Chains A and B, each alone.
Chain A
Amino acid sequence: MGRENKRHSYRHWFQAAWFALTNGYAVGFLEGKIYRGKTKALCVPGLNCYSCPGALGACPIGALQAVLDSGKFKISCYVFGFLILFGTLLGRFICGWLCPFGLVQDLLHKIPVGRKKKNLPGHRKLIYFKYLVLGLFVIILPMTVAVTVTGTGDPWFCKYICPSGTLLGGIPLITVNPGLRAAIGWLFSWKMFLLILILVLSVRYYRPFCKYLCPLGAIYGWFNPIAYYRMKVDQEACIHCGACHTACGMDIEVWKKPNSVECIRCGDCRAVCPTNAISVSGIPKFKGMVLEKIDKTKKT
């Protein structure tokens, strides 16, 4: 097993363990209900639907809309507090390591069917679409469009877009709960269509939802350049071979922009770097090993 494969495997186990830890209410999956304890008031870092039967915490994007569409608050200090804290500590490390829907896309992309591609056509422009989703569906529409006489609105992103809610919340609940199954209508069909489309695209393209649609990734991306968890390229050790760019599923020229807003910190670039020039802040690299690798590369 190569270094990159080993790292993939290690990361996927970590993602799965995190999912199990934050979605540990197993009874919910069996009985078609959700956990109702007080930990539900705390946000988890990833896009983890609070209506997933096992969820022990709240999805920050769902919580943000819940506060904004409640008609009681113009802004959510509480949820922005969580987002700023998570973002400053980890940036998009959360996308790569702590998001259940990221894990789903990662695993689907491993299915050996067809030729794998990194990006959808129009990638350079499409990456900005997630900011539109964040602004419009997560903030503006829930805040401004009241749907009841009491002035409460809808969680537009959750209702019309979020595939994580359909996969982790909708499908498990509807499978086990006959009452909910009887209430299925056009909205569920639309959300299933969107989910299937994203899942099918994930088999061929690397993480299309994270790249083009995820509002949480859009927020955490802004923190990448200053977060405590950040990457550094040793320009003396770097031989500009491009191996990091080739390995990067998010299509980042790592030696130029190690802290790009698109980087999900999966670490594939570090695993393939022939000179160990890429390091993570706070984790010192072994200098002797670096020099040895440079020598080896030069000889070959």
Chain B
Amino acid sequence: MEKTGKKARAAVRLLLVGAAVCLLAAGTARGEVRTVLTKAANICMECIGIG
């Protein structure tokens, strides 16, 4: 029983890591990286409480 649970968990983990890699690739391909970089490389007035 425990062995089956372990196998199922391992499969889910592998699936999630695969999905994460695909999502990262898809996000990069459609230009999200630039949006994140633009926001993160400039002082975010809202984040520091200036608005």
Contacts and interface: CB of A to CB of B under 8 A. Distances in A.
Same assembly? yes
Contacts of B20: 80-82, 84-85, 88
- Interface footprint category on B: 35 or more
B30 interface: yes
Interface string A223-254: 10011100000000000000000000000000
Given A62-B47, A84-B23, A88-B16, A50 B39 contact: yes
Interface in A46-97: 49-51, 55, 57-59, 62-63, 66-67, 70, 72-73, 76-82, 84-85, 87-89
A158 interface: yes
Q: Which of A37, A73, A154, A226 has the most CB of B within 10 A?
A: A226
Contacts of A72: 31, 35
B40 A62 contact: yes
A41 interface: yes
A159 interface: yes
A144 B45 CA distance: 20
Contacts of B13: 88, 226-228
Interface residues of A, number: 59
Given A38-B37, A155-B44, A188-B48, 15 more contacts: A34-B43, A43-B36, A50-B39, A51-B43, A51-B44, A78-B24, A78-B33, A78-B36, A81-B21, A82-B20, A85-B24, A155-B47, A166-B48, A174-B48, A191-B49
19 contacts: A38-B37, A50-B39, A51-B43, A51-B48, A55-B40, A73-B30, A77-B27, A78-B27, A80-B20, A80-B23, A84-B17, A84-B19, A88-B13, A89-B17, A159-B51, A185-B50, A187-B51, A226-B12, A226-B16
Interface of A: 33-38, 40-41, 43, 49-51, 55, 57-59, 62-63, 66-67, 70, 72-73, 76-82, 84-85, 87-89, 154-155, 158-159, 162, 165-166, 169-170, 173-174, 180, 183-185, 187-188, 190-192, 223, 226-228
